[in-house]
């Protein structure tokens, strides 16, 4: 049964309000977590840059939300192709920027771009596009599509940076996307048979990755043997207690907690706002997910729009959950930022873009209609087949 238009408008408004609250928390915590042990004007640089990122993100998100729903289906293959080009370009010496042994950024002057963050949006859209083109009139997939090829290409390029955390995250969200799109179950089993040994081999070939996993288990056996990041993260959370030490008064971020304003900003929230602060943030994400699902459920199930919007919504919440689990030592350390909250331009812009796409795809079904296949679509289909 289709919900009344007024109820859906209230749901949309509540969804947008939740997003704005998450962005507000991010702005506040980036300012607080960027304070150093020797305060100077450089501390304000993070806030200034974050405000620029936030402005760009809001413009991008609003533009995406106002775009026609069918636009995302038409642009999906071209966006994915552009992402592959960027992922390849970042690996070229002199083109990509290397930081701490990882080559993940394209920089031009003060501006920088992390292509792997773009892949978190373009890859699910492309997978939904591929699956959608194989559906019959009854909504069932008539000819099984080969989605493992784009997944393998993307993950291979990200692994070369190297970025194991993002690679595994892309694999996980891709499987979620295919499950939502009702990809044939037997192909899931076949894919898992290849993917699990491959993932185990990749980890085993990197000594520092094995050290992270061993350190993760050590944290539960003997705290002193845990990696420095986990020790400081758990200590930071423990200092906060129930109500926290007060906003801006945290001491662990003063050169003790690594990546305080990016990957471990959740720990800073725990120290300064306590358990109440972390539970409040989790509550916002739960509200974000439930309201988003409410918007999406009115869409026809066997459509590009339903699969893409549900995947992007689930992906954002899953990323926030993984980040919180890493901070609380429930998962091994990996470079996964907290969406909408962590400092970082590429992550913030792409997260808000994903939200804008969700709002675009979740429009009233009376206004939603996929465009007919044009000559470009036919050309692409002939090439892929």
Q: What is the pLDDT of residues 280-334, one digit of tens each?
A: 999 999 999 999 999 998 888 888 999 999 999 999 999 999 999 999 888 887 7
Quickly list DSSP for 177-190: HHHHTT--HHHHHH
| Angstrom distances, CA of residue 4 to CA of 261, 295, 369 | 42, 12, 20
For residue 161, give every residue at least 6 positions away whose Cβ sits within 8 Å of its Cβ, in sequence order, or none: 90, 91, 102, 103, 104, 116
Q: In the structure, what pLDDT confidence band is assigned to residue 3 with cuts at 50, 70 and 90?
A: low
Q: What is the pLDDT of residues 188-240, one digit of tens each?
A: 777 666 666 666 665 555 666 666 676 667 667 777 777 778 888 888 888 88
pTM of the model: 0.87
Share of the chain above pLDDT 70, in %: 79
| Angstrom distances, CA of residue 42 to CA of 37, 46, 49, 146, 171 | 12, 8, 11, 49, 38
CA 172 to chain centre: 11
Element housing 338 (H / E): none
Assign residue 100 a region (left: φ > 0; alpha: ψ between -120 and 50; beta: otherwise).
Answer: left
C-alpha span between 252 and 243 (Å, rounded): 16
């Amino acid at each position: 049964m289709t919900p009344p238009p007024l109820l859906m408008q209230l749901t949309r408004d509540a969804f947008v309000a939740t997003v704005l609250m998450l962005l507000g928390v991010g702005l506040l915590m980036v300012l607080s977590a960027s304070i150093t042990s020797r305060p100077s004007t450089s501390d304000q640089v993070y806030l200034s840059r974050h405000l620029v990122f936030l402005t760009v993100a809001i413009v991008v998100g609003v533009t995406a939300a106002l775009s026609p729903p069918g636009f995302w289906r038409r642009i999906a293959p071209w966006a994915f192709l552009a992402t592959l080009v960027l992922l390849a370009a970042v690996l070229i010496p002199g083109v990509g920027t290397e930081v701490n042994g990882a080559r993940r950024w394209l920089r031009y002057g003060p501006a920088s771009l992390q292509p792997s963050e773009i892949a978190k949006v373009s890859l699910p859209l492309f997978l939904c596009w591929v699956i959608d083109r194989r559906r019959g009139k009854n909504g069932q997939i008539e000819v099984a599509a080969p989605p493992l090829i784009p997944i393998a290409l993307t993950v291979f390029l990200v692994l070369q940076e190297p970025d194991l955390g993002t690679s595994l995250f892309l694999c996980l969200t891709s499987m979620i996307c295919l499950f939502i799109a009702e990809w044939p179950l037997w192909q899931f089993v076949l894919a898992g048979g290849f993917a699990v040994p491959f993932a185990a081999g990749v980890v085993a070939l990197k000594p520092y990755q094995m050290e992270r996993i061993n350190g993760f288990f050590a944290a539960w056996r003997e705290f002193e043997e845990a990696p420095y990041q986990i020790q400081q993260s758990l200590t930071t959370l423990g200092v906060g207690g129930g109500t926290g030490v007060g906003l801006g008064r945290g001491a662990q971020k003063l050169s003790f907690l690594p990546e305080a304003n990016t990957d471990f900003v959740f720990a800073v929230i725990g120290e300064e706002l306590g358990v109440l602060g972390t539970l409040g943030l989790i509550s916002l994400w739960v509200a974000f997910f439930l309201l988003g699902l409410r918007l999406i459920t009115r869409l026809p199930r066997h459509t590009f729009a339903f699969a893409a919007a549900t995947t992007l919504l689930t992906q954002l919440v899953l990323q926030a959950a993984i980040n919180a689990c890493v901070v609380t030592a429930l998962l091994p350390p990996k470079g996964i930022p907290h969406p909408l909250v962590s400092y970082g331009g590429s992550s913030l812009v792409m997260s808000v873009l994903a939200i804008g796409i969700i709002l675009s795809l979740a429009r009233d079904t009376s206004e939603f209609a996929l465009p007919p296949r044009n000559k470009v679509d036919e050309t692409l289909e002939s090439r892929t087949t």
